[in-house]
Structures are given as structure tokens and as C-alpha cells.
Amino acid sequence: MNTFINAIEISKTICKLKLRNGDIAVDCTMGNGHDTAFLCQLVGEKGKIYAFDVQESAIINTKKKLQELNLLERAELILDDHQNIDKYIKENVKLVIFNLGYLPGGNHEITTKKETTLEALQKCLELLEPNGIILCVIYPGHENGKLEKEALGSLTSKLSQKDYNVVNICFTNQINNPPELLCIEKVQFSRRST
């Protein structure tokens, strides 16, 4: 099977590099549960995944998927907007993933929005443990996706390089606004000025 390099595959590779048995991670956009299940496998029996979505169908689909894979006990499925993450998570987390946009196979009118995504991201920065990472798969091919891309770029370009490494991976030779990957890594120790 050929796997082409794209934003989602790169984000999965980073997840595999970062997560270990016992880690805590967050799926801020549960969708149909693919990322939630993937993260549950990576954190092992001792780990935990918090997963958020505003659509009840996402909870139902994800719960079914996790039950089939025998992974449900590793996840807490939360029917709420990711902007309310701080109401549910009090401990530090190793990894956060956002797969922005709309639910595949769902109502395309229901999408993530820049305001709630920005609020969620800022709260995730506080929850992130040193050497932890936030991954945002952005879909600039629809109007809300374009707005999210601009807002996230503006916010993350202002983050202190002493505290965070930020990289944006985009595919410059592809048509139709392919997905991009924004990575925000919390620096383990503040860098000293030279």
C-alpha cells in the first residue's frame, strides 16, 4: 500500500514519536473517532485520551469504534466544544491534536470556528507539559478553514521562541488548498539569550 505524504500522515508520525505508554493526550475534534482510536493505541493501557466534539453522532461513532477495538476504557468522550477543555482537564498533557473543519460524512455547515479554536488552543498551551506538542490539521479549502488558518498563523507567530517551537507545513505545489499542519512544541527549558 502506498502512503502519500500529507498533513494527516505527518501528524500521525509525530504522534508516534511523541507518545508513550502512560501519556495523556487530547483529541479536540473527535469526528468519527479515527484519531481518538489511534491515540488510545499509542498511550497504551496506562494512558488516557480526552476527546471532544459538539455533535452527538461523533460520540456515538467514536464509542462504537473504541468498543470494537477494545479501547473504550482508555478514553473519556466529551460532548462539548473544545473551547471548554479547561472544565474537564486539570492535569498536564503530552499531546493535543486538532483535525479542524467538518465531520466527514456529516453536516458540512457545522464546522470548527476560528473563535472557539483560538480559545481552545490558548488553553491547550497552558495544559501542555514541557516537550509536549499541539498538532493542528487545517483545511483552508473552505471559508471557515481560511479564517482559522489566518487566525492561528497570527496567534502562533507571536509565541515566544524561548517557550515554543512553531512550524507550519504546507504543500506549495498542490492545487485546491490542501490541508496544512501547524505544530507547536513547548520547549522543555527556556532558552538562554546569547
Per-residue pLDDT of the chain (194 residues; tens, 9 = 90+): 556 788 999 999 999 999 999 999 999 999 999 999 999 999 999 999 999 999 999 999 999 999 999 999 999 999 999 999 999 999 999 999 999 876 666 666 777 888 999 999 999 999 999 999 999 999 887 788 888 889 999 999 999 999 999 999 988 888 788 899 999 999 976 554 44
The pLDDT value recorded for residue 194 is 41
Candidates 188, 127, 134; CA nearest to 166 is 134
Domain residues of the chain, as ranges? 7-186
Helical residues (DSSP H) of 129-178, grouped into ranges: 143-157
* Model pLDDT, residue 148: 87
Grid coordinates of 131? 516537550
- CA dist., res. 10 & res. 136, Å (int): 11
pLDDT at 146: 87
pLDDT at 17: 96
pLDDT at position 193? 47
Fold of 7-186: Rossmann fold (3.40.50)
Is residue 56 a contact partner of residue 79, using CB atoms and an 8 Å limit?
A: yes
pTM here is 0.91
